A and B are shown apart, each in its own frame.
Chain A
Amino acid sequence: MREMKRDLVIIGGGPAGLSAAAAARQVGCEDILLIERDRILGGILNQCIHDGFGLHRFGEALTGPEYAQRYIDKVNDAGIETLLGTIVLSMDHERKLTVSSRKGYTRIHAGAVVLAMGCRERTAGAISLPGTRPSGIYTAGAAQNFINLQNIMVGRRAVILGSGDIGLIMARRMTLEGAKVEAVFEILPYASGLPRNIQQCLNDYDIPLHLGTSVIEVHGKDRLSGVTVAEINHFQPVPGTERFVPCDTLLLSVGLIPENELSAGASVKMASGTSGAFVDDTFMTSIPGVFSCGNVLHVHDLVDHVSDEAALAGEFACRYLDGGIYRTDTPIAIEPKTGVRYVLPQQVSGKSDFTLSLRVTEPSRDRAVWVRDGDRKVARKKLVRLHPAEMIRIKVKKEKLETAGKLEVSVQ
């Protein structure tokens, strides 16, 4: 088996990996290897042909491929080495990777690693959808791949289960390509996608969104013939509200799961709220020299934030290689409290400013997110509208942390 040694290895050539690579080069890291399993860079952005990417980062609405291309150009212009069509099979806690491609197996010894593998979609099996197992049931992202990249139409009459952003985008795409979208059904009392997508993808096309309603049974022996939907209360169907909706296609947009099987193989400590790695404010995981960013760390709603976060992770990885990151003996833990589903990072050194990312548990208005050390206010952000679909970010100053033991984050 071939052996290879690189200072910084970045796993994943989607928006996170690209941004991490470009940022690491910018701060002086010379020896970078970016590994991508697909034959082209860009990751999932390649199939996101709608616009709306880059509003925060570039102040303009780009399509997914356009947004990706800006970073691909940066990576290529900087002469960063890439391995395409290459998959990382395993990684151990000493940052030794085994990769496979058509050229063969290679063992790579990495000085530092940035994990940027992204996420996968939750499936019909994962939500234990009752009923038969006909054809015509796709995750929204798979359908997006078929339609946008392969010019293949998945069906003519669709129901969409789950109001995640990809499901909303696909409701519009199916409609634009001539299919009839019957409705979007969401089990929760509120939508899980961004408000702008509800407006632009559903309302603008008269596609109904039924909240607190879910598919309770799938029908059809060969091809999907329809679904039974019902109102849901405490995760149980409400008797008498069942109705049959004929359709030949069911698209699922019921959640994204960070793809952390590689991380688990290296025994990277995981966090419960995010299904991603447990990280500090340098995005370093429990394994020294292993960093995590983007959707493999926590699922983002905006790619702009992925790019920002990954750039920081890339810079910190570079600084780690230069010996500039020390773990403190007395880290400050950060914990989600009332109204907060998760916070990230899960611990900080307290020696530098950092940005907290968090998601709330339920929608509300005119509240503030508080960061407290015991009774002492460390940071506060007032918001008119708080929604689980929208990640909230709060800057925290190091001056506020000098005596801190533990930070608690809550909505009030």
Chain B
Amino acid sequence: MAKAYDALIIGAGVVGNAIARELSRYRLNVGVLEKELDVGMGTSSRNSGVLHSGIHYKPGTMRAKLNVQGNELMKGLCRDLKVKIQYIGKLTVAQDQVDIETLEALKAQGETNGVPGLEIIDVEKMQQIQPGVGGIRALHSPTTGIICPYGLTIALADNARENGVNFHLSSEVTGILKTENGFQVKTAEGGFFETKVLINAAGLYSDAICRMLGLTEYAIYPCRGEYLILDKRLNGSLSVLIYPAPRKGGAGLGIHLTNTVDGNILIGPSNEYVDTADDYACTADIIDQLKKEGQELLPAISTSDFIRGFSGLRPKQTPPSVKGFKEFVIEARKDIPGFINLVGIESPGLTCSPAIALMVRDMVGEKISLEEKGNFVTERNGFPGSFHDLPEEEKADLVARDPDYGEIVCRCEQITKREILDAIENPLGSRTIAGIKYRSRAMMGRCQGGFCMPRIVQILEKDFGYRPEDYRLYSPDSYLFTGHVR
């Protein structure tokens, strides 16, 4: 028996989940198919976590419009969903006269796009904002911010779930059939679905989904960006994001330092095309390059400050021979009625996601009538930040009510047993170690789980009946243990 939906979304990244959450406001049957064991396992979680202002894109493009709109929408969305976000602003720094002209052009472009508060500032003002910053002028964009990218992706899914969306994890789409009134979709795991509207939000695999419907004009070229994560010791070294003024021939926005909402600093990303959409390796040469450039940008970095590296893949539509950016594809296909196609949503896709969701909602509305539910739950339970960030008195009160808040399991990040239990018992039912990490922040600190992972394993055994063979890092074959010792 096929499971029947009004709208079925392929891909539980930030874009798919934002669409799911938006559609969950209406009297619709909505499903999401995700090939991984959890949401947000691809590009959505593996990026700088920057909320862009929208100065970089040509006026009139989809990218420019969605970026400015998404930036504005994110404020309320993160408040409702309790996602960490900080509008800390950005300095784009000029080193010479040519750069200053670039800044002026960027400012004019940003203003045409509707970016508020842009200002070209002199050295004195630059030093007030970020003491020690180099350069002779800077464009200050106050609406640039930082956000927890996996936190947002998970929060959107949790809220969509609470509002009735079904998430089918471990469901990799292998075949799509266009029928008279919609689509039939098969998964590798034997799932069979019918839907009136089908939405392709498959990110790095969006071209593959297109091909299943006979659309061969799209191709995704994964372009890897590597990062290094720095110890929280350096928290406070940066009060604002700092980028060099873009120069001709430069790729991407260049290697830079980005503070995260949790107090780490990221160095990266690099820019290198790879052959497969799952090649998340970190490479020796780029690790060395990032360390060198990072230490040039922030001399206070010592060798013991590098706590981990990771990489992400940009779903680029332009091959290595072309480089550069190509406009997002967000379209309701006229030749395939009911198919809404999203391809090449790379940077600033995270910022754009709430605006993309509205755009897709309108496309869905042209196909099926949208009637608002009376009982849509806007807000998500939880703290605005994390337990650790609460005032001490408030924390003490919570411990008095729930002793699990008093038991610190992850000592580096000071994550409590209650937060671990909440992460394990998440609304989506994902139970991987990576999922617990992304949800609770345990194992993300300087000891990388050396101390707390054995304790989390113990909690899963004692409270959830796990056997040694049951633990997974993030995928079905990423088993942690081979069995009992004896």
Q: Is A131 an interface residue (CB 8 A)?
A: yes
Residues of chain A lying within 8 A (CB to CB) of residue B476: 222
Contact A135 B480 (CB under 8 A): yes
Q: How many chain B residues touch the partner (CB < 8 A)?
A: 58
Residues of chain B lying within 8 A (CB to CB) of residue A149: 454
A232 to chain B, nearest CB (A): 12
Instruction: For chain A, give the interface size range.
Output: 35 or more
Cβ-closest chain B residue relative to A104: B399
Q: Which of B280, B411, B474 lies at the interface centre, i.e. has the most chain A CB atoms within 10 A of its CB? A: B411
**A120-B451, A222-B475, A222-B476 known; A125-B484 Cβ under 8 A:** no
Task: Give the interface segment out of A64-72, A151-159, A278-286, A317-325.
Answer: A151-159
Contact B468 A153 (CB under 8 A): yes
Contact A221 B278 (CB under 8 A): yes
Contact A126 B306 (CB under 8 A): yes
Report the bound CA distance from A153 to B483 in whole Å: 6
Task: Give the interface segment out of A22-30, A137-145, A387-395.
Answer: A137-145
Q: Mark A186-222, 1 if CB is under 8 A from B, else 0.
A: 0000000000000000000000000000001100011
A343 to chain B, nearest CB (A): 21
A139 to chain B, nearest CB (A): 5
Report the bound CA distance from A142 to B456 in whole Å: 12
Contact A125 B309 (CB under 8 A): yes
Report the bound CA distance from A241 to B438 in whole Å: 39
Contact A125 B403 (CB under 8 A): no
Task: Give the interface segment out of B143-151, B242-250, B282-290.
Answer: B282-290
Contact A89 B414 (CB under 8 A): yes
Contact A101 B406 (CB under 8 A): yes
Q: Is B389 an interface residue (CB 8 A)?
A: no
Q: Is A1 an interface residue (CB 8 A)?
A: yes
Contact A85 B407 (CB under 8 A): yes
Q: Mark A317-337, 1 if CB is under 8 A from B, else 0.
A: 000000000000000000000
Residues of chain A lying within 8 A (CB to CB) of residue B306: 125-126, 128
Q: Is A368 an interface residue (CB 8 A)?
A: no
**A125-B307, A130-B284 known; A222-B477 Cβ under 8 A:** yes
Q: Is B450 an interface residue (CB 8 A)?
A: yes
Task: Give the interface segment out of B78-86, B130-138, B390-398.
Answer: B390-398
Contact B450 A151 (CB under 8 A): no
Within 8 A of A (CB), among B468-483: 468, 472-483
Q: Is A62 an interface residue (CB 8 A)?
A: no
Cβ-closest chain B residue relative to A140: B450
Q: Is A376 an interface residue (CB 8 A)?
A: no
Q: Is A134 an interface residue (CB 8 A)?
A: yes
Q: Is A147 an interface residue (CB 8 A)?
A: yes
Q: Mark B376-401, 1 if CB is under 8 A from A, else 0.
A: 00000000000000001101100110
Report the bound CA distance from A156 to B287 in whole Å: 30
Report the bound CA distance from A101 to B399 in whole Å: 8
Residues of chain B lying within 8 A (CB to CB) of residue A82: none
Cβ-closest chain B residue relative to A262: B411
Q: Is A103 an interface residue (CB 8 A)?
A: yes
B225 to chain A, nearest CB (A): 15
A247 to chain B, nearest CB (A): 13
Residues of chain B lying within 8 A (CB to CB) of residue A142: 449-451, 453-454
Residues of chain A lying within 8 A (CB to CB) of residue B449: 142
Cβ-closest chain A residue relative to B458: A150
Report the bound CA distance from A146 to B282 in whole Å: 28
**A105-B392, A120-B451, A130-B283 known; A150-B407 Cβ under 8 A:** no
Within 8 A of B (CB), among A94-144: 98, 100-105, 120-121, 123-126, 128, 130-136, 139, 141-142
Residues of chain A lying within 8 A (CB to CB) of residue B411: 37, 87
Q: Is A257 an interface residue (CB 8 A)?
A: yes
Q: Mark B452-468, 1 if CB is under 8 A from A, else 0.
A: 01100110010000001
**A1-B396, A87-B408, A150-B457 known; A123-B447 Cβ under 8 A:** yes
Report the bound CA distance from A214 to B403 in whole Å: 45
Residues of chain A lying within 8 A (CB to CB) of residue B291: 128
Q: Is A375 an interface residue (CB 8 A)?
A: no
Report the bound CA distance from A256 to B27 in whole Å: 57
**A103-B403, A103-B406, A134-B473 known; A156-B392 Cβ under 8 A:** no
Cβ-closest chain A residue relative to B283: A130
Contact B450 A152 (CB under 8 A): no
Contact A125 B448 (CB under 8 A): yes
Residues of chain B lying within 8 A (CB to CB) of residue A217: 284
Q: Is A223 an interface residue (CB 8 A)?
A: yes
Q: Is B281 an interface residue (CB 8 A)?
A: yes
Cβ-closest chain A residue relative to B449: A142
Contact B393 A151 (CB under 8 A): no
A109 to chain B, nearest CB (A): 16
Report the bound CA distance from A257 to B233 in whole Å: 15
Report the bound CA distance from A134 to B310 in whole Å: 12
B40 to chain A, nearest CB (A): 16
Report the bound CA distance from A142 to B451 in whole Å: 7
Q: Is B304 an interface residue (CB 8 A)?
A: yes
Report the bound CA distance from A391 to B381 in whole Å: 53
A68 to chain B, nearest CB (A): 18
Residues of chain B lying within 8 A (CB to CB) of residue A151: 484-486
**A1-B396, A130-B281 known; A156-B450 Cβ under 8 A:** no
Q: Is B229 an interface residue (CB 8 A)?
A: yes
Contact A120 B450 (CB under 8 A): yes
Which of B284, B448, B473 is within 8 Å of A123, CB to CB?
B448
Instruction: Identify the 10 closest CB pairs spanning chains A and B, nearest first.
Output: A125-B308, A222-B477, A135-B473, A102-B403, A105-B396, A222-B478, A135-B478, A123-B448, A130-B284, A145-B454
12 A–B contacts from the bound complex (CB under 8 Å): A87-B411, A100-B407, A100-B408, A102-B404, A103-B406, A104-B399, A131-B281, A135-B472, A149-B454, A222-B476, A222-B478, A257-B304
Supply 12 further A-B pairs (C-beta < 8 A) apart from A105-B399, A124-B448: A100-B408, A101-B407, A102-B406, A104-B406, A128-B309, A134-B473, A135-B473, A142-B450, A149-B454, A150-B461, A153-B482, A154-B481
Spell out A's residues near B (CB within 8 Å). Answer: 1, 37, 85, 87, 89, 98, 100-105, 120-121, 123-126, 128, 130-136, 139, 141-142, 145-147, 149-156, 177, 216-217, 221-223, 248, 257, 261, 264, 275
